[in-house]
């Protein structure tokens, strides 16, 4: 049997919606700080979902390639929407891809785990080394929920408190813990030959650059 977790799907939609609210605030209404505050929930949920994806994927190499491919596709919409220079900062897919590489090799106790860390000091990308460390904490959370929660809180205190609104990302932690402990894990069994619809599998990958393009167009035409 194949199990599909609707609780995990719910987390994905919460992340997508809060990310969209965040970008509406960043691109169209920067004076409305509340939109950016809501958006702080998105990244920790995405980080957690990537760790789940890494655990469930049949081919980690293809998973990483997919993340970096959409990172490349999304870069032009990303810098246009946010009014950055082309390589002033790299988009969130680069963060998720590098975080995946970091966690994968860290769990194997491989020296290659240092490569994403070194890159974080050389290249500016969304969330930087904090993003990689948070994904590492999410991997610990999957092994030991209490330890993971402590590490995530300590990480946010170390990097963010009290100066960054990203500290509000801790508000996403209860949802993540509920899924990790099974209280927000609603699994439906399907036959082993069940195929996840392509739209569901690739929706976020495609949605990310498309919504940035839309925000750029709206900003150019009406703001």
Q: State the pLDDT at residue 220.
A: 93
Q: Over its length of 223 residues, how does the chain's per-residue pLDDT go in tens digits? A: 455 678 888 999 999 999 999 999 999 999 999 999 999 999 999 999 999 999 988 899 999 999 999 999 999 999 999 999 888 999 999 999 999 999 999 999 999 999 999 999 999 999 999 999 999 999 999 999 999 999 999 998 887 665 677 888 999 999 999 999 988 777 765 555 556 666 677 888 999 999 999 999 999 998 8
Rounded CA separation 67/72 (Å)? 9
**Residue labelled with tokens 């992340």:** 15
Q: State the pLDDT at residue 168.
A: 87
Q: State the pLDDT at residue 190.
A: 58
| Number of domains, the chain | 1
CA torsion, ordered 119, 46, 130, 106, to nearest 10 deg: -60
Domain that holds residue 107: 2-222
Report residue 117: phi and psi, to 5°: -65, -45
């Amino acid at each position: 049997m194949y199990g599909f977790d609707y609780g995990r799907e719910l987390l994905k939609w919460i992340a997508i919606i809060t990310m969209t609210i965040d970008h509406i605030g960043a691109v169209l209404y920067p004076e409305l700080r509340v939109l950016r505050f809501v958006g702080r929930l998105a990244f920790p949920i995405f980080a957690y979902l990537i760790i789940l994806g890494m655990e469930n994927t049949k081919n980690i190499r293809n998973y990483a390639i997919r993340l970096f491919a959409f990172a490349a596709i999304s870069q032009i919409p990303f810098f246009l929407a946010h009014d950055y220079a082309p390589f002033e900062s790299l988009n969130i897919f680069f963060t998720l891809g590098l975080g995946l590489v970091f966690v994968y090799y860290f769990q194997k106790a491989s020296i290659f785990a240092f490569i994403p860390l070194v890159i974080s000091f050389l290249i500016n990308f969304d969330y930087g080394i904090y993003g990689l460390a948070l994904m590492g904490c999410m991997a610990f959370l999957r092994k030991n929920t209490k330890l993971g929660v402590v590490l995530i809180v300590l990480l946010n205190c170390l990097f963010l408190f009290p100066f960054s609104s990203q500290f509000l990302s801790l508000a996403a932690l209860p949802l993540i813990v509920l899924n990790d402990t099974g209280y927000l894990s609603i699994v439906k069994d399907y036959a082993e030959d069940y195929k996840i619809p392509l739209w569901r599998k690739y929706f976020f990958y495609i949605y990310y650059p498309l919504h940035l393009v839309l925000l750029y167009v709206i900003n150019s035409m009406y703001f």
